[in-house]
Structure 1
Amino acid sequence: MNRRSFLKKIAGSVLAVFGIGGGTYYYARDIEPNMLNINKETIESAKIPNAFNDFKIVQFSDTHIGFHYTIDQLNDLVTKINNYNPDIIVFTGDLVDEPNTYHWNNKLIKVLRQLNAKYGKYWIYGNHDHGGYGTNIVRDVMKQSEFTLLQNNNTIISRGNEHINLAGIDDVMLGKPDLKQALNAASPKLFTILLAHEPDFADWAVKFPIDIQLSGHSHGGQVRFPFIGHLYTPAYAEKYVQGKHTFNDGKFTLYVSRGIGTTRLPYRFLCKPEIHVFTLKSSI
């Protein structure tokens, strides 16, 4: 930890201890974690075919079910996502908080299966999915929930006679990510979206023929303060914490989701949970 980060964390801790009263504590624990933000973005590119005009992608991430996030809350989220009539749905990792202690049952599968997307539902591993011996369990649950795993591979999404490419890598922290393999046989001429759980992977992905990277992992820091910002983010979410980041004069764009649930501490403060609703537009 460098000096700047250390001082930032100390200052944030002082504010947390002396500045948060009972009402604020209640808000951070019981109110804001349930205040879903819908982040709508339009993505324009000359590489997007005309057939994909108004094509809608919904991203959700980091539900961390079992740690202060319930199946009933997930069911409400599913309803909200379906209301946007997405063409595809992508989940960018961390389904449950602790796979080894979570009480797995068919109710979770039933709820996830209710998500509807005409051109498919796709997901990638997060670090919590691999952790706690969850690799095989989470894979089986998502398969039964009719999600397609993108683990160092890609798939072509076709609409009419035109196409875009959707790729995904394994988790950076606990998996074996291989971006070259993920893009194997993919045409660089196709508009390409990469799913990568950790946002800082963008510094590597920008070197490849990728247009958009969708990530989670950071939770936006979960707790943020004016003038200070976030107090802590996990490894590989230290540079790009939330929002939109552009590279190479706009040729590559990273979107970082604050996610849905919480982990380690059950609080969100000035950092509402969110989903992204992306609408594609051809700029030809």
Structure 2
Amino acid sequence: LQGLRIVQVSDTHVGTLIHNEYLSKCVEIIRGLRADMLIATGDIIDNNNYFIPVAGRFFRPLVDALPLGAYGIPGNHDHIDNGAVAVSGLRSSGLQMLVNQTAVISRGRGRLNIMGLDYPWGPNRRDSERRRNKSREYFQRAELQKFPDAPTMVLNHHPMEFEYLKNENIDLVFAGHTHGGQIVLNEDRSSALNLARNFYEFYRGHYVRNDRQLYVNSGLGHWFPLRIDCPPEITLIELV
């Protein structure tokens, strides 16, 4: 697996505020990275399944160009209209949506578990303890499909779940959701101007806890069309 190149995108929020020209430019950039595979960590569409075909046109040329394909998970926005319909529609574009499932890829003699967890949607989704317990159930379901002794990376939309994932038998977690803070007035976590720190412990970039790694992508889309000192992000990771 050494040298495996993985592109992460997150929070594309395909909808009325994300234009085709922008998505086409992103496709051009990603194809130029010559990656082996792509992962999409949720909030692929914004809030309306009408835009599934638009998202499909974004992913299809990438799926066709990447030797090991593309994998995705639902985020909270993918559930707003109808989560099952969103997942089905995105799968039709060639994106392999993992919903509490594990895919095993092979490269040479190496194998890699790619575990994808659903967003713990439901009436108690704002209760952090209940959400974490639901996510643990999802993890246990996906864990049954792991290839023994192979490294495991987890796709999980909300970085908060790293609080328990850092204690599990995994190696790397990819998340999104936070948009990197989107409006970053001060990077100092002790500053009141660091708005993201009021909501998230993990909100942008690379974290290590208990020898488990987390990467939080700042996203390609947005909640509203304004970013300050927090540009959209396409992440390239190379395994060493």
Q: Which amino acid aligns with 1:240?
A: F
Whether 2:33 is the aligned partner of 1:84: answer yes
Taking a change above 3 Å as real, the CA distance of residues 105 and 205 of structure 1, as seen in their structure-2 partners, is: closer
Partners in 2 of 1:190 and 1:106 — Cα distance? 35
Unaligned 5+ residue runs, structure 2? 126-133
Partner of 2:155: 195
1:134 corresponds to 2:82 = yes
- Looking at structure 2, the residues matched to 138 and 71 of structure 1 have their Cα atoms a distance apart, in angstroms, of 19
Which residue among 194, 202, 215 is the counterpart of 1:240?
202
2:166 is matched with: 206
Q: Distance in 2 between matches of 1:155 and 1:243?
A: 25
Name the stretch that deviates more: 104-113 or 151-160.
104-113
TM-aligned CA deviation for residue 71 of structure 1: 2.2
Question: Contact 2:15–2:47 (CA<8 Å) still a contact in 1?
Answer: yes
CA RMSD of aligned residues (A): 2.0
Look up the equivalent residue of 1:94 and give its one-letter code: D
User: Using the alignment, how far apart are the partners of 1:260 and 1:139 within structure 2?
Assistant: 19
SS at match of 2:46: coil
- C-alpha change, 1:129 and 1:230, in structure 2 (3 Å) is farther
CA distance change for structure 1 residues 105 and 204 in 2, over 3 Å: closer, same or farther? closer
Alpha-carbon distance between aligned partners in 2 of 1:104 and 1:81, rounded to the nearest angstrom: 21
The match for 1:104 is 51
**Residues in 1 aligned to 2:110 and 2:45: alpha-carbon distance in whole angstroms:** 36
Aligned equivalents of 1:122 and 1:165: distance in 2?
Answer: 12
Distance 1:268 1:109, change over 3 A: same
**Cα distance change, pair 68–120 in 1 and its aligned pair in 2 (3 A):** same
Q: Within the alignment, does 1:231 sit opposite 2:183 as a pair?
A: no
With over 3 angstroms needed to count, the CA separation of the structure-2 counterparts of 1:105 and 1:207, relative to structure 1, is: closer
CA contact (8 A) 1:67 1:266 kept: no
Q: Which residue of structure 2 aligns with residue 271 of structure 1?
A: 230
Q: Partner residue of 2:113?
A: 165
Change (3 A) 1:155 1:118: same
Q: Is the 8 A contact 1:154 1:182 kept in 2?
A: yes
Which AA in structure 1 matches 2:226? Y
The one-letter amino acid paired with 1:165 is N
Map 1:49-64; keep pairs closer than 5 Å. Answer: 52-64=1-13
Distance 1:266 1:154 in 2: 35
- Per mean C-alpha deviation after superposition, the further-off stretch among 150-159 and 182-191 is 182-191
Choose from 254, 278, 284 the match for 2:214. 254
Q: Residues 141 and 71 of structure 1: is their aligned pair in 2 closer, same or farther, counting only changes over 3 Å?
A: farther
Give CA deviations for 1:150-201 in whole Å, capped at 9, x if unaligned.
1111011101232111101110344853111111142452111000000010
**Structure-1-length-normalised TM-score:** 0.73
1:84/1:268 CA distance change after superposition, 3 Å: same
TM-score (normalised: structure 2)? 0.85
Q: Flag the structure with more relative contact order, 1 or 2, with Cα contacts below 8 A and sequence separation at least 6.
A: 1
User: What is the CA distance between 1:55 and its match in structure 2?
Assistant: 0.7
Q: For 1:190 and 1:105, how far apart are their aligned partners in 2?
A: 34
Partner deviation per Cα, 1:50-77 (whole Å, 9 max, x = no partner): xx12110000000112252112211111
Q: Is the 8 A contact 1:67 1:262 kept in 2?
A: no
Aligned equivalents of 2:100, 2:239: Cα separation in 1:
24
